[in-house]
Amino acid sequence: MGADGIVLVTGGSRGIGAATATLLAEQGRRVVIADIAPEPLAGTPAILWPAPFDVADETAVASGIAGIEAAHGPITGLVNSAGVFGKMHPVERVRMDQWDREVNIDLRGTFLVARGVGVRMAARRHGAIVNVASVAGMTSGPIHAYTAAKAGVIQITQTLAAEWGRTGVRVNAVSPGFTRTAALEAGIASGALNKRLLESPTALNRMVEPIEVAQAIAWLLSPMSSGVTGINLPVDAGFIAGSTWAAYGGLPEASGA
């Protein structure tokens, strides 16, 4: 990323987006956060775009990107972290208005922002994009719209990486596992999620911290990953690696010293 550019973080007022914006700002990057419900990040120099930023609205995305670049300079890094998580339902109870909302925000929104920023990056022949997908898009679960949308995010990441690779623009994705955000903690507190069941399938026997996802994103944006494009990097505490071990009696416990 050029020193004169900015990093735009969508969904930057909370969760993984907030952790990423905070880390990048601490690393000396000029960070602008945009959110549907914009709130500043206390104690960080990240710049808040004050207008609500609706990633699913094509007109709003185009005008928002143009306004952000006019006010703060060219976007040389993009973190697409705006998203919503759906309710767990058997397939026959999935309401199509809920399906449309999740797919519109998680998949359509990711594409619209990536396209709006990426076309500008390609014209300048420089930039890096990181889309936040999910291990849900690599596995299965009773969150039907969310899994489909996040699988789509992984696919469009590969396609856009190929589309813009010759211009020098890199496009990658991260797929967090169960991440200890405020929203997930609220789900545990309400009884909708079971902490032990979230942790026990993982090789590391724990959930992921938001800062761990942020660190992976920061690496993918940085020159340290200059030869990397089109990948999907799971940051899941070994959820994918460990989730099938129940069929073989479970993951081995750590042996004593």
Query: Any idea which residues carry the catalytic annotation?
Result: 146
Secondary structure of residue 212 in the 3-state scheme: helix
Please tell me the number of Cα atoms within 13 Å of 221 on its side-chain side: 33
What residues form DSSP beta bridges with 175? 234
Based on C-alpha coordinates, what's the Rg of the chain?
18
The whole-angstrom separation of Cα 147 and Cα 137 is 5
The DSSP output letter for 179 is B
Cα 216 from chain centroid (whole Å): 11
Between β-strands 232-235 and 47-48, what pairing exists: parallel, antiparallel or unpaired? Answer: unpaired
* Two structure tokens written together for 172: 């990658």
| Among 135, 141, 33, CA closest to 77 | 33
The DSSP output letter for 86 is P
| Among 106, 164, 97, 112, CA closest to 133 | 106
- What is the distance between the terminal CA atoms of the chain, rounded to a whole angstrom? 46
Please tell me the number of Cα atoms within 13 Å of 168 on its side-chain side: 13
How many Cβ atoms sit within 10 Å of the Cβ of residue 206? 16
